[in-house]
């Protein structure tokens, strides 16, 4: 699946994770022409930016901007404050209970505002994002109520909206389980080996396996009945290294 040339009709927020990759593929399948926006916000897991580049290239999205904005200057949790530890090996009940410490204050609001600015600049009328309220129910900025409110804001706060154009916020995965998202992506031909979900990866991008995001991803692939190609990618690298050192 490749993007088609021409003026973008939609902007996708592309993090490099499996959800945003699936949302981008979904948008392409429905005929959208995409511009992609990734944010370098000082995150601990900067490997996701390289994953975003690979996902965009794999989907044929040539209009891909990586924008630096230093949310780490504010602090606010272990994803942007590297002195704090990322929680590991929490139970399913703990993951599902409350707002996790990996919440980054107002992150989706900031990201969507930037995507809205890019969309208005490009003449696109839709914003696409891969938020999911089932597996990530603890994050307040992944809820349908937030998405509805931001869509209203987009149409009140922009020249395009005031002059009669209408912005739509498309979140096709918001009510899907992780397993359903993965199956959707497989059906769309998404290469999940390019994506990363880990909050605390090794320098080479190898996932830690214990953070909430790794655990949710692993459970999703298990429920979908298919192996995670990201893990296979690193297993292959380990075997190659072992052979080279013999």
Tens digit of each residue's pLDDT (9 = 90 or more) over 97-127:
888 899 999 999 999 999 999 999 999 999 9
Domain limits at 169?
10-244
Instruction: Give me the residues paired with residue 39 across strands.
Output: 67
Whether 1 maps to a domain, the answer reads no
**What SS3 class is residue 139?**
coil
CA atoms within 13 A on the CB side of 242: 6
Q: pTM for the full model?
A: 0.92
In this prediction, residues 36-42 reach a mean pLDDT of 97
What pLDDT shows up at residue 243?
A: 46
How far is it, in rounded angstroms, from Cα 84 to Cα 139?
A: 19
In this prediction, residues 157-186 reach a mean pLDDT of 95
Using DSSP bridges, classify how beta strands 126-128 and 64-68 pair: parallel, antiparallel or unpaired.
unpaired
Residue with the larger pLDDT of the pair 109 and 3? 109
Q: Kindly report, residue by residue over 73-84, the tens digit of the pLDDT.
A: 998 899 999 899
DSSP secondary structure letter of residue 211 = B
What pLDDT shows up at residue 241?
A: 47
How far is it, in rounded angstroms, from Cα 128 to Cα 61?
A: 14
Give me 89's structure tokens: 């090996």
- pLDDT over 90 percentage in the chain: 80
What pLDDT shows up at residue 231?
A: 94
Q: Most distant CA pair in the chain: distance in Å?
A: 68
CATH number of the domain that 98 lies in? 3.40.50.620
Q: Kindly report, residue by residue over 188-203, the tens digit of the pLDDT.
A: 999 999 999 999 999 9
Whether 157 maps to a domain, the answer reads yes
Residue position matching structure tokens 């880990």: 198
Whether 2 maps to a domain, the answer reads no
Whether 126 maps to a domain, the answer reads yes
Question: CA torsion angle for 70, 106, 23, 215 (degrees, to 10)?
Answer: 90
Whether 3 maps to a domain, the answer reads no
If we measure between CA atoms, which residue out of 129, 131, 240, 110 comes closest to residue 176? 131
Residue with the larger pLDDT of the pair 4 and 85? 85
What pLDDT shows up at residue 2?
A: 65
Whether 5 maps to a domain, the answer reads no
What pLDDT shows up at residue 1?
A: 62
Whether 54 maps to a domain, the answer reads yes
Whether 4 maps to a domain, the answer reads no
In this prediction, residues 32-56 reach a mean pLDDT of 97
How far is it, in rounded angstroms, from Cα 91 to Cα 34?
A: 38
The number of distinct structural domains making up the chain is 1
**What SS3 class is residue 137?**
coil
């Amino acid at each position: 699946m490749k993007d088609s040339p021409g003026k973008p009709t939609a902007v996708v927020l592309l993090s490099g994770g499996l959800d945003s990759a699936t949302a981008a593929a979904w948008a392409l399948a429905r005929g959208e022409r995409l511009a992609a926006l990734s944010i370098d916000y000082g995150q601990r897991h900067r490997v996701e930016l390289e994953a975003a580049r690979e996902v965009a290239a794999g989907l044929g999205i040539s209009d891909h901007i990586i924008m630096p904005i230093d949310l780490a200057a504010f602090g606010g949790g272990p994803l942007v404050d590297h002195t704090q530890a990322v929680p590991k090996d929490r139970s399913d009940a703990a993951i599902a209970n409350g707002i996790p410490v990996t919440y980054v204050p107002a992150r989706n609001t900031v990201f969507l505002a930037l995507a809205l600015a890019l969309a208005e600049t490009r003449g696109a009328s839709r914003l696409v994002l891969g938020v999911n309220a089932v597996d990530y129910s603890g994050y307040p900025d992944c809820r349908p109520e937030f998405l509805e409110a931001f869509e209203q804001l987009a149409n009140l706060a922009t020249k395009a909206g005031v002059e009669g154009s209408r912005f739509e916020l498309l979140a096709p995965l918001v009510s899907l389980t992780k397993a359903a998202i993965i199956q959707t992506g497989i059906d769309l031909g998404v290469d999940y080996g390019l994506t990363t979900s880990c909050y605390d990866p090794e320098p080479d991008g190898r996932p830690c396996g214990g953070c909430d995001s790794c655990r949710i991803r692993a459970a999703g692939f298990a429920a979908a009945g298919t192996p995670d190609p990201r893990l296979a990618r690193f297993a292959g690298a380990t075997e190659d290294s072992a052979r080279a050192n013999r």
